[in-house]
Amino acid sequence: MEQGYLLGGVGQSVPKLENQEKVRGEAEYIADMVLPNMVHAAVLGSPHPHARIVSYDLSEAKAAPGVVAILTGDDIGEGRMGAFIKDEHAIAKNRVRYVGEPVAAVAAETERQAQAAVALIKVEYEVLPSVLSPAEGLAEGAPLLHPEVEDYITVFDSGSKGNLVSRTEFSEGDPDQAFSKAEIIVEGTYTTQAQAHVSIEPCGALADMDGNGKIRLWSANQSVFRVQANVCESLELPMSRVRSMTPRIGAGFGNKMEPHIQPITVALAMKCRRPVKLILSREEDFEIVRARHPFQIYMKTGAMKDGTLVARVCEVLSDCGAYADDSPGVLGYSLLMARGPYNIANVRCEGKLVYTNKIRFGAFRGFGNPQVTFAGEQQIDEIAKRTGIDPIEVRRRNILSEGDPWFLGQEVRSSGLESCINAVEEASEWKKNSGSVGSGGGCRKALGMAITAHISGLLSTGAIVRLLEDGCVVLNTGAVDIGQGSDTVLAQICAETLKMPLDQITVASPDTDGSPYNWGTTASRVTYTTGRAVNDAAEKVANKIKQHAAEIFDCNVEKVELREGGQVGIVGSTEALPFAAISGRAHWAVGGPIIGEASVCYERATADPKRAVVLGLPFPRIGVMSFGALVVEVEIDEITGHVRVSRAWSALDVGRAINPTLVEVQIEGALVQGLGYALFEEMVWDSGRLSNPTLMDYKVPTIVEMPDVIESIIVESPEPDGPFGAKGAGEIGINAVAAAIANAINQATGARHYHLPMTSERVLNGLLSSEPHR
C-alpha cells in the first residue's frame, strides 16, 4: 500500500462516515422507525402553570376508537429522576408545575386516534398561585413548587431550601479590598433571555417490552446512558431491564442530553405490551423539553489606569424552571467562567438558582458561559474606553498563559489564546478599522471583539477496540454522534493510533447493552475525553499486535513496529505482516482475539482549597480549557435600528484539529446560533404560557442572516494529555458572540446594551438616546 492508507488519519478533513446515507435521504431518525404491531402515542399538557391534580376522568378517552392504553401519574410510583437533584417524575404526579407539562398520555392504533383521545381526557385541577420569576420565587411567602425539596436526593451540596434549588459561591483573594484601591470601576446589571435549541429534529422515542420484561428503547438523545438512568430512576426499574439505543440524531445542542418523553414512552409500552412510538410536534418540543436559562447578572470589574484588572464580582440569579435538570451545573459552570480568561487576583462569584412555573431550563451549547461573557466582555471594553487603551491591548495585558491557574486553581496546561487574539486582530485589520465608525447611507458600521474560554472534559467514558478476524476494527465507545461528526473523529483517532486506513474501521452504534459507559455528548467532551479512551484502547490493541508479531518473527517485541496501512514489521527490515495475519492467528492462539479496552474519568481538580473558598461546587473535576477570540463587524440601520453582522472572524484554540473541516463547522454553526441569540431569538411567556412555541413566531437565523464573510481560524496549542493534543470545539464558538456584537454596537452608537436580545427596537432606542462616541 502507498499513501492512500493515510487517508483518514488525524488532521485530515475526511467527509463524515455516515454522509452517504444522509445525502441520499436514507438516514434513519427516531420518527422514521417502525416496529411491527406498533402503536402511536400523544400527550396531554397541563393548561395551568401551577395546580394540584385532583382527579382524572378517563372514561371517554378509554372508549374512543383505537385507544390501547392511557397513562397518568396514578400509574407510576414515587421514583424521581434528575442529573443533580432528583425532583422529577416520569409524568406529572399530584401536581403540575408548568403549562404544557405532560399529565396524561394515550397509546392508540394511529397517531390521529391518540391525539383525538387525549382531548377527551378530563383532569380536575385545583389551581395554585404560580411563581413566574426567580425574584418572585425567593420572596417571603412565595408559593412552593417543591415543598419536599430538602428531602430530594442530590449529587452535590446544593443547599436547596424553599424555591431555592441551589446556591454556589466561589471566591479568591479579597475583592472588597481590591475594589477600594482600583482606579477604575465599571458595573452593571445585565439580563439575558430564554433561547430555544430548535434542533430541526423534534424529540421522540420508541419503546417495546419482550415477554421476559426486557425493554428496548430508541430515542432522540445525546447519551444512551443518561436516557437509561433517567428511565430507570423515574420508573424504578433495574438497569438490566432497559436497553437504550440510538438511531441517527437530528442535532441536540444540549436539548437531548437529559430526559424528555422517554420515561412516558417506556411506561406506555409496559402498560400496553406493544411497541409505542411518541414523536413530539414542534410546539410540544418548544413547550416541554428545555431551553437556555434566563440570567440576571450583576457584575463589577476593577482595574488600574494601565489597564491591569484587579478585581471582579459577579452575582447571578438564574431561572431554573420547574425542575432542576442540568441547572445547578449551568449555574456553577457560569460562575467558574465569569472571571473570563484573565489573571484577576481578587474575584467573588456567587449565584442562586430558583424554581419557577416554567419549562425546565437546562443544558444548551455554552452552558451558562454566553450569559456571563455578555456581561464580562462588555466590561472589559468599558475599561478600555476609560483607560484610553485599545480593547485588544487591554485584553492582551491581562490574559492568562500556560501554567497560570484558572479561577479556583486548576492549572491551564495549554493556551493558544494570544494566538487567537493576534489572528483575529490581523484578519479583521483591527488596527486600521477598530477606532472608526463607518457611516453613510443611513448606516453605521463598526467592529467589536470579545474573547472566551470553555472546558472540555467531565466524567466517565470507555472505549473498546476489537480486531476482527480479517484485521478490520470495530470501535465501540457509547458516544452518541448527534451530527457533529464524533464517530468520524473517534475513528480517525483510532486509525492514527493503529496506523490503519479509516475505511477498515467501523463504529458501533451506542447501545447500553453492548457499549462501554459514556456520560454523553455534552460539555464539548467527546473528542477530548472519549478520544483519550479510544487512544488508550487502540494502544493496547497495538501492543497485542506487536506481541503476536514478535512471536511470529521470533524476535524481541521492542524490535517490532506498526507500519502505515495496517501492518506490522521488524524495525529496519522491509518484512511486514498485515493485521489480518495477526488477527487470524490470535483467534486460534492462546490469549484469544485481540481486544483493547480503556476507561477514563477526567481527573484534575477544579478547585485548589489553598487558593479558593468554594461552596456548592457541582463539578469537582471539570476539564481542560479551549480558548477563542472573535471580531465582528456590524452594520446598523439608523432608521430602524436593525443590526446586521456583515463580517466575522472567529479563532479557536482546539489543541489539535482532528478533522479541520468539522472544527470549522462548529465555529460557523456556533457563530450563527449566537447571532440569533444576540439579536432576535427569545422565548416569551404570557402569564405562564409560552406565547411563541412555533417556528413562525420564534425566529432562528436563516441563510439570509449569515454574515457575508465568516473567517474560521483554527489555532492549535496541544493539550498535553489530549488525544494527539486535541481539546473540545463544540460549544466555545457561541460564548463570545453576543458580547462582541454588543461591543460593536456600542462602538457604532455609543450605547451600552444590558439586555438580550439586542432587538432593532432596543438598538434604535440606544442610538437615539446616546451621544455617539461619548
Partner 1 sequence: MKSTRFSLLVNDRKREFVAESDATLLTVLRDSLGITSPKRGCNQGVCGSCTVLVNDRPQRACLTLAATCQDKRVTTIEGFAGDSLMTALQDQFQRCGAVQCGFCTSGVLISAYKLLCESPEPTVKEVKANLSGNICRCTGYQKILDGVLKAAEERRSERESERD
Rule CB under 8 A: which residues touch partner 1? 13, 15-16, 18-29, 31-32, 34, 112, 197-202, 248-251, 253, 279, 281-282, 482-485, 661-662, 664-665, 668-673, 694-696, 700-704, 706, 710, 712
What's 52's DSSP letter?
E
Nearer to partner 1, 205 or 336 (CB): 205
- Give 265 or 378: the residue with its C-beta nearer to partner 1: 265
Nearer residue to partner 1 within complex by CB, 159 or 669: 669
Question: Least distance (Å) from partner 1 to the CB of residue 695?
Answer: 4
Cβ-based nearer residue to partner 1, 21 or 150: 21
Minimum distance of partner 1 from residue 103's CB (angstroms): 23
CA distance 616 to 158: 6
Alpha-carbon distance of 93 to 78, in angstroms, equals: 9
Q: In the chain, how long is the greatest CA-to-CA distance?
A: 84
CB-neighbour burial class of residue 645 (10 A; exposed 0-12, middle 13-18, buried 19+): buried
Our separate counts of H helices and E strands in the chain read: 20, 30
Q: How far is Cα 196 from Cα 183, in angstroms, rounded to an integer?
A: 41
Strand partners, 561: 569
Residue carrying the nine cell digits 484539529: 657
Q: Which is nearer to partner 1, 590 or 704 (CB)?
A: 704
> Least CB distance from residue 265 to partner 1, whole Å?
18
Nearest CA to 717 among 649, 651, 621, 622?
Answer: 651
- The upper half-sphere exposure of residue 362, i.e. CA atoms within 13 Å in the direction of its Cβ, equals 26
Q: How far is the CB of 527 from partner 1 (least distance, A)?
A: 15
Angle in degrees, CA 323, 326, 330, rounded to 5: 120
Alpha-carbon dihedral angle through residues 508, 511, 515, 518, given to the nearest 10 degrees: 110
Q: How many other CB atoms are found less than 10 A from the CB of residue 604?
A: 14
Q: How far is the CB of 743 from partner 1 (least distance, A)?
A: 21
DSSP 311-324: EEEEEEEEEEESS-
Q: Which is nearer to partner 1, 201 or 350 (CB)?
A: 201
3-state SS, one letter per residue, for 737-755 = HHHHHHHHHHHHHCCCCCE
Query: In angstroms, rounded to a whole number, what is the distance separating the alpha carbons of residues 394 and 303?
Result: 10
Write down the least CB distance from residue 12 to partner 1, Å. Answer: 12
Task: Pick between residue 315 and residue 633 the one whose CB is nearest to partner 1.
Answer: 633
Residue 303 Cβ vs partner 1, minimum distance, rounded to whole Å: 34
> Which CB atom, from 317 or from 645, has the smaller least distance to partner 1?
645
Q: Of how many residues is the chain composed? A: 774
Whole-angstrom distance, CA of residue 256 vs CA of residue 273 = 26
Residue closer to partner 1 by CB (options 347, 700) is 700
- Nearest approach in angstroms of CB 483 to partner 1 is 3
Please name the residue that has the C-alpha cell 442610538: 767
Question: Please, which residue, 267 or 502, has the CB nearer to partner 1?
Answer: 502
The DSSP output letter for 359 is P
Q: How far is CA 346 from the centre of its chain?
A: 29
Measured distance CA(103)–CA(91) in Å, rounded: 6
Query: In the complex, what is the shortest distance from the CB of residue 657 to partner 1, in angstroms, rounded to a whole number?
Result: 12
**Residue 48 CB neighbour total at 10 angstroms:** 22
Q: Which is nearer to partner 1, 198 or 455 (CB)?
A: 198
Spell out the residues 6+ positions from residue 55 whose beta carbon is closer than 8 angstroms to its own: 123, 124
Own/partner contacts of 573-576, CB < 8 Å, gap of 24 or more, are none
- Work out how close the CB of 475 gets to partner 1 at its nearest, in angstroms, rounded to a whole number: 21
By C-beta, is 26 or 150 nearer to partner 1? 26
Least distance in Å: CB of 345 to partner 1? 38
| CA atoms within 13 A of residue 521's CA, in its CB half-sphere | 28
Which CB, 470 or 697, lies closer to partner 1? 697
Distance in Å, CB of 447 to partner 1, minimum: 20
Q: Give which of 415, 417, 336 is closest to 371, Cα–Cα.
A: 336
Tell me which DSSP letter residue 135 carries. Answer: H
Least gap, CB of 733 to partner 1 (angstroms): 9
